Amino acid sequence: MRKRPIEAVGQVLASEVAIPNDVPPYPTVAFDGYAVRSEDTPGTLMVIDRDKYYGEVELERGYAIRVNTGDPLPKGCDAVAPLESVIMVGENHVKVPRIPRGLNVDEPGAYGVKGEVIANRNCPLGYATAVVLDYMGLMVDVYEKPRVILMSIHGGYDVTGLLFAKLISHYAPWVDYKYIRIATGLSYDELSSHLRGYHAGIIIGGAGPSKNDLLEKFVEKGIGNVVFRGVDIKGGRPSSLIKLDGKPVLWISGPPATFSSTFFLLALPFLKSLGKCEEQCSIGYLKAKLMSEYPHDKPTGLYVKLVYKEDGVEAYPLSPEKQRIMNYLLIPRSHGVALITGRTSHGSFVPVFYLP
C-alpha cells in the first residue's frame, strides 16, 4: 500500500526510497550573511534589495545582498560573507573582508544526489526519516501490518502481559496487536476463536514443562503442529511455537523477570518475520561493553545498568541474586536488557535494549 510517510511511521517499507533529484537542486546559502562576488572582496559594497535579484537579473559588481541560510544563491554571486564578518557603513553599505569563492555555499547535490537510497526496503520507517520524506513530498510503499493477538493467561495483576504489550508497541510498531487477559485455561475452541481475524498469536503462560501446563495438554491431544518445542531461554522456562489453523502461535512462559529475554531473543524475531522486517534493521538498541563474564552456552537476557564514559557505554549486570526469574523488582532497577547469545567474555560488546 502507498502512503504519505508521516502516516506510515513504524510500518515496514515494501520498497526502497531514493532521492528523486539532487538536494539542493541549485546553489544554496549555507550561512546567514551577505551574498557577494568573491572578486569584489575585500571592499565596501552597497547592499541592495534582495527581492530584485531572485529572478533573472544577475548581481552587478560592487554590490551585496542580505541572505539567510537555505536561500537560493542569487545569480552572479559565488560566496557568502557571514554576518559577524562584516561591518555596516552607513545605512546601505557593508565593509566585507576577503571572502574566497564558494565560502558558505552548498552546491547542487551537496546534501544528497539523485538516486541515492535514504530508506531501505524491509526496514521500519522511523519518525525522523518520515518527516524528511514528507517534507520532500515523497510517497512510500509499505506492507500491511500483521495482526497479532497477545493472550496472557493470568488470574491476577498481569505484570508480564502488560510489559510484553509495551515492548511490542515500542520495538515492533509494524505490528497491529490486541492484548487480552485470560483468567483461566484455554480450550482449542476458545483459542481458535481468539485467533479468528488475526495472522498470528502469542500466548503468555502455560508453556512450562509440567504435565499440567496447557501446551503439554495440546501436544498430547495432537492439537496443532509443533514447529519447535521447549526452547530454553532462561533456566527452566521453555518456549514453543505451534501452528494452529495454519497460524503461527508463539507460546512462552509467564514469570515477569523472563519476559524481556524471551521478547528480544524469540518474540521480536518472530514479529520481524511476520512483518517482513529484515533482521539487520536497527530497532532502537545500543552497543555496550559488558563489564562481566557470562560463562554459559545458553542464550539469555541480562538486566544491566548503563554507565556512559568518554570512550563508550559500559553495561553492568545486576547481581545473580537480583536476576532471579520471579524478581519483577529488577525491572525498575535496571536500564535495559543485554542480549547474550552464548559464552561472552568480560569487555565484549553486546546489544542492549532499553526498557520503555
Band of pLDDT at residue 52, cut at 50, 70 and 90: low
Q: Residue 349: in which H helix or E strand, if any?
A: strand 349-354
Cα 264 to chain center, whole Å? 14
- Taking phi first (over 0 means left), then psi (-120 to 50 degrees means alpha), and beta for anything else, what does residue 320 get? alpha
In the chain, the N- to C-terminal Cα span, in Å, equals 30
Q: Torsions phi, psi of 255, nearest 5?
A: -55, 135
Cβ of 75: how many Cβ atoms within 10 Å?
A: 14
Whether 125 contacts 140, CB under 8 Å: yes
CATH number of 28-106, picked from 2.170.190.11, 1.10.10.10, 3.40.50.300, 3.20.20.80: 2.170.190.11
Mean pLDDT over 233-261 rounds to 79
Domain ranges of the chain: 2-20+115-141, 28-106, 147-274, 285-354
pLDDT of residue 235 exceeding 60: no
Looking at domain 285-354, its CATH class is mainly beta
Q: What share of the chain is helix, strand, coil (3-state, %, to 5)?
A: 20, 35, 45
Overall fold of domain 2-20+115-141: Molybdopterin biosynthesis moea protein, domain 2 (3.90.105)
Instruction: Assign 53 a pLDDT band (cuts: 50, 70, 90).
Output: low
Contact 82, 104 (CB under 8 A): yes
Where do runs of H (alpha helix) occur along the chain? 127-135, 159-171, 188-195, 214-220, 259-262, 268-274, 330-333
pLDDT confidence of residue 315: 94
Task: Round to whole Å and give the CA distance between 161 and 262.
Answer: 12
| pLDDT mean over 77-92 | 94
Find the Cα–Cα–Cα–Cα dihedral 96, 101, 103, 109, rounded to 10°: 150
Question: What is the dotted CATH code of the domain comprising 147-274?
Answer: 3.40.980.10
Per-residue pLDDT band at 206 (split at 50, 70, 90): confident
28-106 and 285-354: identical CATH topology? no
The predicted structure's pLDDT at residue 46? 95
Calpha distance 73→169 (Å, rounded): 45
> Regarding predicted confidence, which is higher, 128 or 104?
104
Type of residue numbered 337 = V
From the list 159, 160, 179, the residue with the least C-alpha distance to 169 is 179
CA distances from 69 to 29, 34, 37, 64, 169 (A): 5, 10, 17, 15, 38
- Which of 271, 264, 133, 258 minimizes the C-alpha distance to 202? 271
- The per-residue pLDDT for range 329-353, each reduced to its tens digit, is 667 778 888 989 889 999 999 999 8
Percent of the chain with pLDDT over 70: 90
Give the pTM. 0.75
